Amino acid sequence: MTSAPSMRAAWSVFARNFLVWRRLFWPALVMNLGEPALYLLGLGLGLGHFVGEMDGVSYVAFLASGIIASSAMNTSSFEGMYSVYTRMGPQKTYDAMLATPLRVEDIVLGEMLWCAAKALFSAGGILLIALALGVITSLKALWVFPAALLIGLAFAGPAIMMSALARNYDFFNYYFVLVLTPMLLISGVFYPMESLPPALRPWLDLLPLPHAVELVRGIVLDVALSRTWANIFSLSAYAFGGFFVAAWLVRRRLLE
Amino acid sequence: MHTPLKSNIASDTPSLAIRARGLRKVFSHPISGVVAAVDHLDLDVPSGICFGLLGPNGAGKTTTLRMLLGLMPPSAGSLELLGLPMPQQSRRIRPRIGIVPQADNLDPELSVAQNLRVYASFFGLPQQISKPELDRHIERLLEFARLSERRDFRVESLSGGMKRRLTLARALINSPDLLVLDEPTTGLDPQARHTLWSRLEELKAQGTTLLLTTHYMDEAERLCDELVVMDHGRILDQGSPQALIARHVEPWVIEIRSAGRQTTAFAPLSSLGKLERHGSSLFLYTHDRQRALNDIDGLTASLPTPPVLLQRPSGLEDVFLRLTGRDLREEA
């Protein structure tokens, strides 16, 4: 059974990850910032030349807001899979942690917070690039930071679940190809969701990424946020639900 | 001199560090059905001694340890560590035990000192003691582990022996009353093993209870005050190394090399003790070494090449082989 985690204990897990990450800063920077920045520049400027405007804004701005949300998703998912799996399996970091007063709940919460911090790092970086390029101009865009944290939390839980179920790194291909990539293509990152069949819309609302994109787009483009609370509620539900299921699966893997 | 690694707080350690009754763990296996890895185990480990848990691979040692540490729920039985029920009170027990696991799980990207500092944070030490105090504590542990000069080295760059010593230092970060070591010297060279043993002896002298599993009988004989030999999830016998040797084997062993196939030729020796075959050698366990040597001379006089003989006082290894008897054993 899952019990409430201790914030102090979760923080010690977070701090440990931060310490290791500092040593591996440059490769992490290239991975988390370089790739989405290339997408933004390549697709935004290249494709934007042909597309012009989308949904009333320049295509670069439209795409930037989508990529901020999707890079938060990707960064959090990567951390929750490859890195968490490394610590849970090959590196046995969690075994070392469980030999201390830390409990599985503390570890999972610490990891989710860390995934969220990395999502913030990546989304924030894209935001700064977009601000520097003049693609985004409103200062209200800084609200993206808390939004990115929430998006990171929402995607961390499912990723950690995958780690708890995985027997090797290749297992994550399923999640990427069958879940994350299809979701990326239908969640309004590259084109407005209105172009999808209306019958699909209610179902898409069950996914987290459309909410993440809607929230971020509303913030950075300084347009009226249409369903802020629905967006926040959906992402929070993924974060909370993800925590409990992930903690249950990690416990089952490590302690049974 | 006061002991450097133990806290000065008067320890309320009860007389038994570990008490297990009817401890049992069953796994359901797709082919062999329900298998009891640990089967009604009773265990009393007195405080302040080094206690050994010996047994061949698959004997149930690791499962027992995992249950003791609250890392695996027992299927049945009761368990007390330091006077508190496990796993119910694991939150109160954890801060008082240290674990040296079988496989290294240090943080490879972090430095030696950072590994200790991070581990201290898992115990909440930065909230409990001042920073200078924690710094001094870490310095003392580095000294104890003979790693002071390596404090800023990455763990990746350490030798196997150094990693083990760091793992030991890390397990002592919370000044535990009970230290659990799972095959601590497996894979180390002789020098590294001796260094680690001297560290463990120092801890024992300071009053830390040690629970040790090992495959090395010399290690168990040297470190353990008391031990159990287990196999198939059950305890076969318990006692001090000397008591077990006296109880189970004759005081002298004469090994007749390459005589494993000539059991019949040497059969008359069995009147002097126990004759057993392990591998390609015959072993004669006997009280009367001189007579045995004479008899062997008599039996081998006619052979073109007399076999190589090795004689030694019997030890824990002989007890282990006799109790767990994995090898093809022939009683002549």
pLDDT of the residue at B68? 92
Q: Cβ separation of B108 and A95 shorter than 8 Å?
A: no
Q: Which of A116, A92, A137, A145 is nearest to A18 (CA)?
A: A116
Which residue among A12, A20, A24 places its CB closest to the CB of B121?
A12
- To probe the interface with A, which of B118, B167, B179 has the most A CB atoms within 10 Å? B118
Is pLDDT of B9 > 70? no
Task: Give pLDDT < 50 ranges for chain A.
Answer: none
Is pLDDT of B64 > 70? yes
Is pLDDT of B124 > 60? yes
Q: In chain B, pLDDT over 70 holds for what percent of residues?
A: 94
pLDDT of the residue at B31? 83
**With bands split at pLDDT 50, 70 and 90, how would you rate the model's confidence at B8?**
very low
Instruction: Work out the mean pLDDT of chain B and round it to a whole number.
Output: 88
Helix (H, G, I), strand (E, B) or coil at A156: helix
Q: Cβ separation of B103 and A92 shorter than 8 Å?
A: yes
SS (H, E, C) B122-158: HCCHHHHCCHHHHHHHHHHHHHHCCCHHHCCCEHHHC
**With bands split at pLDDT 50, 70 and 90, how would you rate the model's confidence at B13?**
low
Q: How does pLDDT run across B26-39, given as a tens digit for each residue?
A: 988 888 788 899 99
Q: In this complex, is the C-beta atom of A253 within 8 Å of any C-beta atom belonging to chain B?
A: no
Is pLDDT of B168 > 60? yes
Residues of A in contact with B118 (CB under 8 A): 12, 15-16, 19
**With bands split at pLDDT 50, 70 and 90, how would you rate the model's confidence at B12?**
low
Is pLDDT of B10 > 50? no
CB-CB contact of A230 with A201 (8 Å): no
CB-CB contact of A80 with A111 (8 Å): yes
pLDDT of the residue at A225? 73
Closest residue on chain B to A15 (Cα): B118
Question: Chain centroid to CA B150: how far?
Answer: 28
Q: Cβ separation of B119 and A9 shorter than 8 Å?
A: no
Number of A:B CB contacts under 8 A? 66
CB-CB contact of B20 with B78 (8 Å): yes
Distance from CA of B72 to the nearest CA of A (A): 5
Distance from CA of B108 to the nearest CA of A (A): 8
Residues of A in contact with B108 (CB under 8 A): 91
Q: Cβ separation of B121 and A15 shorter than 8 Å?
A: yes
Which residue among B114, B124, B170 places its CB closest to the CB of A101?
B124
Residue A47 vs residues A43, B83, B271: alpha-carbon distances, Å: 5, 70, 95
Residues of B in contact with A91 (CB under 8 A): 105, 107-108
Strands (DSSP E) contained in chain B are 16-29, 33-46, 50-54, 76-81, 84-85, 97-100, 178-182, 209-214, 226-231, 234-239, 252-256, 273-278, 281-286, 309-313
Q: Cβ separation of B110 and A23 shorter than 8 Å?
A: yes
Burial A86-107 (b: 16+ CB within 10 A, else e): ebbbebbbbbbbbbbbbbbbbb
pLDDT of the residue at B7? 47
Q: In this complex, is the C-beta atom of B156 within 8 Å of any C-beta atom belonging to chain A?
A: no
Q: Which of B170, B159, B80 is nearest to B118 (CA)?
A: B170
Q: Which of A161, A113, A86, A80 is nearest to A8 (CA)?
A: A113
* Cis-peptide, bond into residue A27, ω within 30° of zero: no
Q: In this complex, is the C-beta atom of B128 within 8 Å of any C-beta atom belonging to chain A?
A: no
Q: How does pLDDT run across B183-220, given as a tens digit for each residue?
A: 999 888 899 899 999 999 999 999 999 999 988 899 99
Q: How does pLDDT run across B285-299, given as a tens digit for each residue?
A: 999 999 989 888 888
Residue B110 vs residues A24, B242, B244: alpha-carbon distances, Å: 11, 44, 44
Which residue among A19, A92, A99 places its CB closest to the CB of B118?
A19
Find the angle CA(A207)-CA(A212)-CA(A216) to the nearest 5 degrees. Answer: 160
SS3 content of chain A, % helix, strand, coil (to 5): 80, 0, 20
In angstroms, what is the C-alpha Rg of chain A?
18
Q: How does pLDDT run across B230-277, given as a tens digit for each residue?
A: 999 999 999 999 999 999 999 999 998 887 777 778 888 888 888 888
Segment 66-95 of chain A within 8 Å of chain B by CB? 91-93, 95
pLDDT of the residue at A256? 74
Question: Chain centroid to CA A57: how far?
Answer: 25
Instruction: Work out the mean pLDDT of chain A and round it to a whole number.
Output: 92
Q: Which residue has the higher pLDDT, B273 or B131?
A: B131
Q: Cβ separation of B72 and A256 shorter than 8 Å?
A: yes
* Token pair for B4: 């450097």
Q: Which residue has the higher pLDDT, B303 or B166?
A: B166
pLDDT of the residue at A27? 84
Helix (H, G, I), strand (E, B) or coil at B103: coil
Residue A166 vs residues A159, B64, B133: alpha-carbon distances, Å: 10, 26, 42
- Long-range Cβ contacts of A200-207 (<8 Å, 24+ apart): A205/A230, A205/A234, A207/A183
* Beta partners for residue B256, in sequence order: B282, B309
